[in-house]
Each structure stands twice: as C-alpha cells, then as structure tokens.
Amino acid sequence: MNHTVQTFFTPVSTNRPPNYEMLKEEHEVAALGAPHNPAPPTFTVIHIRSETSVPDHVVWSLFNTLFMSSCCLGFIAFTYSVKSRDRNMVGDLTGAQSNASTAKCLNIWALILGIIMTILLIIIPILILQAYQ
C-alpha cells in the first residue's frame, strides 16, 4: 500500500498549539493521500445551436405566384419555400438549404419568363397596330 507522508509546518512565531481543525485536516490528508479514482474524468459537452437561418424566399415565391404566373413556376417555388422553412424549423439545415436553393432557382426562372412574357404582351400588340396602319 502506498502511503504518502506530508509534513505541515506551523508558524514558529506563534507559541500556541495547533487547534483541532488543523490536526483533523492533517490526519485526513495523511490517511487519504492522493485521490484513488480509477475512472477517467467525464466531460459534459453542451451543443449551443447557432441562430443561423437559411433564407427561404417565401415572399419572392408568393410574388411570383400572384403576379408572374408563367407555367406555375411561382407556385412550385412557393411549395419549396415552405418546405425550406419547415426544414429550418426542425433544425435540418442541409435540407433547408437544398429546398431554398431549388426555390431560388425556380423564382429566378419564373421572374425571367414573367418579364419576357410581359414585354412580349406589350410589344406584340403595338407591332400589330403599326402593321395595320
């Protein structure tokens, strides 16, 4: 058995004997020695969820659904936007990013096709009226 002996020095300037608490502490340290804990120390890891949110493009999709309805791309983009928002609420950031990317792509195409169709709806009647005059 491994015994460790530790000597405690009392101040020489005091001519008082050591009190009971000091003697008790010396005895406990001498009797216990070094801590004997065979188990490794355990650690607790706390994951703090960062407040990163993925842009879901719901407003843009709703705008494309209501005003630029070319081939229903705005409505499909709106469904992917809602799916992205749901994935973000659950905490699935990769799924949210994937759905948001799809919604963004569909919104870009819906916007481009909507602008082209609007321009054509303005230019074609003007060209037809000029041809008949």
CB 106 within 8 A of CB 80: yes
What is the distance between the alpha carbons of residues 86 and 58, in angstroms, rounded to a whole number? Answer: 12
Higher pLDDT, 116 or 68: 116
H-run or E-run covering 66 = helix 58-67
Residue carrying structure tokens 């407003």: 59
- pLDDT of residue 108 exceeding 90, the answer is yes
Count CB neighbours of 61 within 10 A: 26
For residue range 21-77, what is the model confidence (pLDDT) as tens digits?
A: 666 666 665 555 555 566 676 777 776 666 677 888 999 999 998 887 767 888 999
Q: 111: which residues sit within 8 A by CB, 6+ positions away?
A: 64, 68
